Structure 1
Amino acid sequence: MKILFLEDDDVLLKDLVQALEEAKHSVTTCKSGQAAIYLAGSRDYHVLIFDRMVDGIDGLNALRILRSKGVRTPALFLTAMTGVDDRVDGLEAGADDYLAKPFAVRELLARVMALGRRGQYGEASASLVVGDIEIDRLKRSVTRAGIPVLLQVQEFKLLEYLMLHAGQVVTRSMLLEGVWSYHFDVRTNIVESHMSRLRAKLCANGSPDPIQTLRRIGYRFETGQP
């Protein structure tokens, strides 16, 4: 796979690039957010690996800018900023995964492979349609009955996950892992608050709510017109 690696620690960068190349990946490196924005926006990569704390435009804002430009390459934050709020900020900026330093190189390689597979799956299924709701996964756009619905990055990912599992019950834990890449239950209302905003936007024109709440169980996205 082709990987773009944003990191300004020369020692760490050298070691990780060697490990990635030994795993048969092709790695392009850069040390500033400005360079990452240019490279990711002008060339095709399978995975982005960004450190958050770099000079100039930091990794967090670099990814925000790329997502606003429609770049949807799966992205992993690799950082020493490990607090829950830091993780939430990273995922809200459009990251698909978040790995805290220090870490095992084997885990990084496994996560990179998982993100690469996710990107390939997304390319194979660019459009999703359930009832009168359609999302374009390449353009990250949503319409309902032909009317555009403007969503933030995590709202889009939440809707995408629900539509991929339309007709199925999804639990809070499933959403935390599938949308926010949390493999543990964070003690926040992140799922509930995003679900509320998503529902409001999908129903803004008086359309019925396609998301059913199953008390103490989870949610189900309806497969057809209510």
Structure 2
Amino acid sequence: MKLLIIEDSEALRRSVVVGLNNLGFTIDEAGDGATGLSMALLNQYDLLILDLMLPNVDGMDILRALRKQNLETKVIILSAKNLTKDKIDGLMDGADDYLTKPFSFEELHARILALLRRGKTSQVNNSLEIDGFTLDLETKSFSYQGQIIDLTRNEFKIIECLFLAQGRVVNAEKISEAVMGNFDHLSKNTIESHLSSVRKKARQCGGDLPIKNKRGFGYIIEKSHLC
């Protein structure tokens, strides 16, 4: 597994690099935001450990740049910023986890393993087609009969979670984990709001989103809709 750590504290950066190297990870490192962003865009990493307060380019700007390019590299924010708002902003802008300083190396290692395990689900096909809808797992796009439906990141994550589980009920907790990771929570009302938005966008393209709400259980793409 290849990881990138972007951290301006040389002592902390070296400590994490040595520790992860000893555990068998291949680690690249950067001490400033500009260098780190360039490395993240030019190379393929399984996971990125990202400080927020960096010289040259801020960590949040790095995160937004990666997600704007549709790069799905797992990102753990490692920051001294410990306010709830900071954590929410980081997660909503595309981070998969958020760990505040000071931290234990054992906890960092556990969070890395948890994220990498979630990323091991592989698909034989890069796209799923259901009732005229196509979910492309490689380009992270969603369309109906060739018409692109522009989704936000969270909307796409919810649709991806449900399409991958087609024919099975997925409860709100599983959807929340797929979108926000283990650290934060996506409420049922928020999930329903996102799905309502996707349904509206689908109808504008002439499609009827094949996702049903099984009250008290969760959401499902019913088998009658499967191709």
What TM-score range do you get, normalising by the shorter chain? 0.7 to 0.9
The answer on whether the counterparts of 2:144 and 2:205 sit within 8 Å (CA) in structure 1 is no
1:211 aligned partner:
211
Residue of structure 2 in register with 1:104 after alignment = 104
2:143 alignment partner, SS class: strand
Match of residue 6 from structure 1: 6
Cα distance change, pair 148–184 in 1 and its aligned pair in 2 (3 A)? closer
Instruction: Tell whether the 8 Å contact from 1:32 to 1:57 is kept in structure 2 after alignment.
Output: yes
For structure 1, which segment, 114-123 or 158-167, has the greater mean C-alpha deviation from structure 2 after superposition?
A: 114-123
> 1:74 and 2:86 equivalent?
no
**Residue in structure 1 matched with residue 160 of structure 2 by the alignment:** 160
CA drift at 1:22: 0.8
Distance 2:26 2:63 in 1: 21
* Contact 1:91–1:154 (Cα < 8 Å) also in 2: no
Q: Distance in 1 between matches of 2:13 and 2:221?
A: 43
Aligned to 1:169, the other structure's residue is in SS state coil
User: 1:129 deviation in Å?
Assistant: 2.9
Q: Is contact 2:51-2:78 (8 Å) kept?
A: yes
Q: Tell me by how many angstroms 1:81 deviates.
A: 3.0
User: Residue 15 in 1 paired to residue 15 in 2?
Assistant: yes
Letter in structure 2 aligned against 1:150 = D
Alpha-carbon contact 1:52-1:58 (below 8 Å) kept: yes
- SS of the aligned residue for 1:29 comes to strand
Say whether residues 1:221 and 2:224 are aligned partners: no
Alignment of 1:46-85 (within 5 A): 46-85=46-85
Which amino acid in structure 1 is aligned with residue 69 of structure 2?
K
Residue in 2 aligned with 1:113? 113
- Distance in 1, matches of 2:122 and 2:62, equals 22
Displacement, 1:181? Answer: 1.0
CA distance 1:3–1:195, shift in 2 (3 Å): same
What CA deviation, in whole Å up to 9, does each residue of 1:121-178 have, x standing for no partner?
A: 3576532333322222221111122211111222111111111112222222222222
Percent of aligned pairs with the same amino acid:
34
Aligned-pair Cα RMSD in Å:
2.5
SS at match of 2:14: helix
Q: Give distance in 1, aligned partners of 2:84 and 2:128.
A: 31
- The amino acid across from 1:88 in the alignment is I
Q: Residue 49 of structure 1: CA displacement?
A: 1.1
Find the residue that maps to 1:170 and give its secondary structure: coil
Asked if the contact 1:127/1:134 (under 8 Å) is kept, the reply is: yes
TM-score w.r.t. the length of structure 1 is 0.86
The AA in structure 2 aligned to 1:102 is P
How many residue pairs get matched? Answer: 226
CA shift at 1:57, angstroms?
2.3
Aligned counterpart, 1:173: 173
* Structure 1 partner of 2:32: 32
In structure 1, C-alpha distance between the alignment counterparts of 2:224 and 2:85, rounded to whole Å: 37
Structure 2, unaligned stretches of length 5 or more?
A: none
In structure 1, distance between residues paired with 2:99 and 2:223: 35
Q: Which runs of 5 or more structure 1 residues have no equivalent in the other structure? A: none
Between the aligned partners of 2:88 and 2:28, the Cα distance in structure 1 is: 27
